[in-house]
Amino acid sequence: MPDPDVDPERLRDFQRDGYLVLPDFKSAPEVAALRQRAHELVDAFEPGAQAAVFSSVQPERLADAALIASAEAMHGFFEEEAFGADGLLRQPKALSINKIGHALHELDPVCDAFSHGPALAAVAAALGLQQPQLWQSMLIFKQPGIGGEVRWHQDASFFDTAPQTVTTFWFALEDATRANGCLWVQPGGHRTPLRERFVRDGDRLQMEVLDPTPWPGGADALALEVTAGTLVCFHGLLPHYSAPNRSPQSRLAYTLHVTDGRAAYSPRNWLQRQRLPLRGFV
């Protein structure tokens, strides 16, 4: 049954623009519960213990090993500007985390509840995902003052399927504005080619360049300023980015990356499941 929020006109918008904004998709209590859980997960995160886990890995491969292991775990990643020249955090841990990923929706009960249910299943069905498979979840913190830029990219670079099916479900857990680093998209840009592919080769991860089409210029970009509780769905080929957060307001978001099980998921994708079974929205 299609969700009443996704009427045929909105679907035409998605097909034309490559994205869809659904305000108030999540209730204030649902958003508050996940926001609180995000802060609890940061409190519980021990970077020292994690470093020990990866101590057997060559230093230059440490980041790759951590990312590969995070596919089926809950792993914290710090902001690039979090550490001073002395190697110590410049501000408290809770204000230094960049993101936590990538199996929150499998391993944490609060994230699991937020990530599943008939309303999300209906949106996925309306967008044409007949067999949704939830590969990854992330809490993205975009910290006040140091939250870094995420350069222009397409999410299909990270979740290649044939045919292309990956769809991003991006939830604002706090108001997202130009000042605190909201999403920017190129409306209609989902009709441009896939420029890059992030692939795993053994224990190495690398970005391959596929197509020289330039990233959008400023005039092509549209800021998606949205309120907490909004769901933004976008096509895997839609170019998007977010600016640094130089404001005093954090910009917490939660994302899911979902493919259609009818499409072939590339064995070269960085994220592979070994242990956890793949699930849909229900």
Residue 155 or 160 having the CB closest to Fe ion: 155
Count of residues near Fe ion by CB under 5 A: 1
Residue 226: CB minimum distance to Fe ion, A: 15
Burial class (CB in 10 A: 0-12, 13-18, 19+), 65: middle
Residue whose C-beta lies closest to Fe ion? 155
Residue 253: CB minimum distance to Fe ion, A: 10
Residue 79 or 155 having the CB closest to Fe ion: 155
Which of 208, 192, 112, 103 shows the shortest CA–CA distance to 158?
A: 208
Q: Using CB under 5 A as the criterion, what x/- string covers residues 99-138 for binding Fe ion?
A: ----------------------------------------
Residue 96: CB minimum distance to Fe ion, A: 21
What Rg value do the Cα atoms of the chain yield, rounded? 18
Residue 3 or 160 having the CB closest to Fe ion: 160
* CB atoms near residue 42 (< 10 Å): 18
Residue 102: CB minimum distance to Fe ion, A: 13
27 within 8 A of 229, measured Cβ to Cβ: yes
Examine residue 155 and tell whether it contacts Fe ion (CB under 5 A). yes
How many Cα atoms sit within 13 Å of 173 on the Cβ side? 23
Which of 48, 81, 54 shows the shortest CA–CA distance to 68?
A: 54
Tell me the two tokens of residue 129.
Answer: 């995902």
Question: Stretches 88-96, 119-127, 129-137, 148-156: which one binds Fe ion (CB under 5 A)?
Answer: 148-156
Residue 128: CB minimum distance to Fe ion, A: 20
Which of 15, 71, 74 shows the shortest CA–CA distance to 233?
A: 15
Residue 17 or 155 having the CB closest to Fe ion: 155
Residue 238: CB minimum distance to Fe ion, A: 9
* CB atoms near residue 204 (< 10 Å): 12
Query: Where does this chain bind Fe ion (CB under 5 A)?
Result: 155
